[in-house]
Homo-oligomer: A and B are copies of this chain.
């Protein structure tokens, strides 16, 4: 979905390093936006699994599961290896570091924003005290 090109030299979020690509975030947040896929990650956190294993666990056709694994694989959350006729799925190298960093950054920004609002409210209160009810 990429787009968002607001003709600013600045990046997609305050503090963004060049490594933060919008497309990457689009894809990894989208990958996480499905409960089945989050479940697959959980499962692979416990033990490696074949497509068949996963398809059974999540009550889905092999083809359907293969697609989910493909999506997770494309964003690096899962890696697979074909051994004989079975494809082994394991957790991939992505620890979601940048996504976690983005979230942390957002929460910081959120705090800053609301501290600022608090200050304004504070000032209004002071003003009111000195103005009105003397």
Question: B-contacting residues of A (Cβ < 8 Å)?
Answer: 1-6, 12-14, 22-23, 25-27, 29-30, 32-36, 38-39, 41-42, 44-45, 57-59, 91, 95-97, 99-100, 102-104, 106-107, 109-114
Contact = CB atoms under 8 A, between A and B. Distances in A.
A35 B91 contact: no
5 smallest CB-CB distances across A and B, nearest first, come from A29-B33, A4-B35, A22-B35, A30-B33, A45-B109
A29 B32 contact: yes
A35 B107 contact: no
Contacts of A57: 6
Nearest to A40: B4
A26 B34 contact: yes
Contact of A45 (B14, B33, B97): B14
B35 A3 contact: yes
Contacts of A25: 32-33, 35, 38
Nearest to A11: B42
Contact of A33 (B26, B96, B112): B26
